[in-house]
Amino acid sequence: MQRFKTYWQIQHNWQLLFPLLGILGLIYCSYIIALLFSKNSGVILTTIITGITTYLLLILVLFIFKKLENKWILTYKWEMIRVFIVFAITGSTSAFIGKPIMGLIGITKENLNPILYWILFIIIGLIFYQILLVSFGWLFGQFKFFWEFEKKMLRKLGLKKFID
Spatial distance between the Cα atoms of 5 and 10, rounded to a whole number of angstroms: 5
To which H or E segment does residue 96 belong? helix 78-104
pLDDT in tens, the chain (164 residues): 888 888 888 888 898 999 999 999 999 999 999 999 888 788 889 999 999 999 999 999 999 988 988 888 888 888 889 999 999 999 889 888 888 888 888 888 888 888 988 898 888 888 888 899 999 999 998 999 999 888 888 888 777 776 66
**pTM score:** 0.79
Residue 163's pLDDT is 67
